[in-house]
Amino acid sequence: MVAEETYRPRRSVLYMPGANERALEKAQTIPADALILDLEDAVAPDAKPEARERVCAAVQSGAYGGRELTIRANGIGTPWHDDDLRAIAQAGPAAVVVPKVNSAAEVHQIESGLEAAGAPDHTKVWAMLETPVAMLHAEEICAASERLTVLVMGTNDLIKELHGVRVPSRHPLLPSLALSLLAARATGKVILDGVYNDIKDPDGFLAECRQGREMGFDGKTLIHPSQVEPCNAAFAPSADEVELAGRIIAAFEEAEAEGRGVVTVDGRMIENLHVDEARRVLAVQAAIDALA
């Protein structure tokens, strides 16, 4: 297993249309952990060259504080992909987000394109998994490159490709989501859940956030600023979780110091795995606190 990168909060990852200058300015004040400045779906074909210049300038502006800035390129094989990749490499965002990545060979192609264009080492690859082919090759995609650090689930395209029905439980998607999670954890990658389309259904959105967190996702991609703060709360440890984690670690360390082999907290036996989980909770909370 590959070790995960140093934890960085990616609870809320908001798509912003690259052609909309006002939206890019507004994004400077939205409390999302990360932004995806979009050159793909949100931009009409004749507006793509101008949008490319705009988002690259935004990345280099220094106006977004501690938010992680990424740019979504147009997909491999489109007329804009190569130009996008060259411009993004020169702008040097935290990552390039590439839609519909289907194979390890495509990851290598993206990586080679970035390197040929002089991308800095800090510009990583975020691969979007959106097709049945990608689901069946998720592990090899994840393992293809150390430059690939994040998987992004493209659930809208995936449900279309599966001929599935969009239902609140998302049960048609669960096997694919689980496969991708397994691949991410086996290779030490971060993984983000897909978007929720109905911005006027906050209860449905929160239910999907809870489901994603329970499954093990690190965060969620978003389509509207109103989703950011609820998502941040949903993917952060609760006050009770943080308090319990502290007590678990304290009880375990006390038992070790006293040479006791059995540790209980609130009537539950505590093992090393529970301590590891508790330490992760505290590390996540510390990283979130550091963003404030």
**pLDDT computed for residue 40 by the predictor:** 95
Structure tokens belonging to residue 205: 């959105």
In the predicted structure, residue 4 carries a pLDDT above the cut 60: no
Structure tokens belonging to residue 139: 């592990």
**pLDDT computed for residue 86 by the predictor:** 98
Q: How far apart are CA 242 and CA 283, in angstroms?
A: 10
CB 217 within 8 A of CB 194: no
In the predicted structure, residue 6 carries a pLDDT above the cut 90: no
In this structure, how many other beta carbons lie within 10 angstroms of the beta carbon of residue 19?
Answer: 19
Structure tokens belonging to residue 176: 């694919």
**203 pLDDT band (50/70/90 cuts)?**
very high
Average pLDDT of 92-114?
98
Average pLDDT of 112-135?
98
Structure tokens belonging to residue 235: 């993917």
Average pLDDT of 192-221?
98
**pLDDT computed for residue 245 by the predictor:** 95
Place of tokens 């495509």: 106
Mean pLDDT of the chain: 95
CB 124 within 8 A of CB 95: yes
H/E element, 60: helix 48-60
Structure tokens belonging to residue 202: 């906050």
In the predicted structure, residue 1 carries a pLDDT above the cut 80: no
Average pLDDT of 175-188?
98
Average pLDDT of 89-116?
98
Top CATH class of 12-234 equals alpha beta
Q: How far apart are CA 100 and CA 232, in angstroms?
A: 26
**42 pLDDT band (50/70/90 cuts)?**
confident
| Residue 45: DSSP 8-state | G
Place of tokens 């329970």: 214
Structure tokens belonging to residue 210: 């809870």
**pLDDT computed for residue 5 by the predictor:** 57
In the predicted structure, residue 2 carries a pLDDT above the cut 80: no
**3 pLDDT band (50/70/90 cuts)?**
very low
**22 pLDDT band (50/70/90 cuts)?**
very high
Backbone angles phi, psi at 13, to 5 degrees: -130, 105
